[in-house]
Amino acid sequence: MINVRITDNNNKLVHQLFKKIERGPFRRNFHAIKSTIFDLFCAYYVRQNFRFPVMLEIETINRCNNDCPFCPVNVRDDPRKKQLMSEALLEKIALELEKVQFSGFLALYSNNEPLIDQRLSDISAYFRSKLPKAHIYIYTNGKMINYAILTRLIAAGLDQVVIDNYDDSLNLIAPVRKLLEEIEKEQNQALNLDLTVIMRLKNELLANRAGNAPNKTAENIQDYLGYANSGCYLPFTQMVIRPSGQVSKCCNDALGQVTLGDVHSATIEEIWNNPIYTDIRHNLLTRGRKSETLCRTCDVSSVTGMLFKKILAGHQFYNSSNLGRHT
Ligand SMILES: C[S@@+](CC[C@H](N)C(=O)[O-])C[C@H]1O[C@@H](n2cnc3c(N)ncnc32)[C@H](O)[C@@H]1O
Ligand code: SF4
Per-chain mean pLDDT for the chain: 91
Shortest CA distance to 44 belongs to which of 237, 288, 325? 237
Rounded to 5 degrees, φ, ψ at 30 are: -60, -45
Shortest CA distance to 102 belongs to which of 314, 304, 319? 319
- What per-residue confidence (pLDDT) applies to 287? 92
CB 140 within 8 A of CB 164: yes
Lowest-confidence pick of 67-81, 293-307, 312-326: 293-307
- What per-residue confidence (pLDDT) applies to 173? 98
Whole-number Å distance, alpha carbon 74 to ligand 1 midpoint, is 10
d(CA 22, CA 17): 9
Max CA pair span of the chain:
56
Query: What does the pLDDT average to over 79-96?
Result: 98
Query: What does the pLDDT average to over 106-134?
Result: 98
71 lines ligand 1 (CB under 6 A): yes
Q: CA distances (Å), 308 to each of 182, 209, 212, 315, in order?
A: 34, 22, 27, 10
More confident residue, 84 or 22: 84
141 lines ligand 2 (CB under 6 A): yes
Best of 60, 105, 139 for a ligand 1 pocket test (most atoms within 8 Å of beta carbon):
139
d(CA 107, CA 134): 10
Whole-number Å distance, alpha carbon 25 to ligand 2 midpoint, is 31
- What per-residue confidence (pLDDT) applies to 225? 66
Please state whether beta strands 238-241 and 160-166 pair in parallel, antiparallel, or not at all (unpaired). Answer: unpaired
113 lines ligand 2 (CB under 6 A): yes
pTM of the predicted model as reported, rounded to 2 decimal places: 0.94
CB 108 within 8 A of CB 127: yes
CB 253 within 8 A of CB 70: no
Query: What does the pLDDT average to over 194-223?
Result: 84
Shortest CA distance to 176 belongs to which of 142, 202, 199? 142
pLDDT band at 11 (very low <50, low <70, confident <90, very high): confident
CA atoms lying within 13 Å on the CB side of residue 259: 9
61 CA to centre of own chain: 15
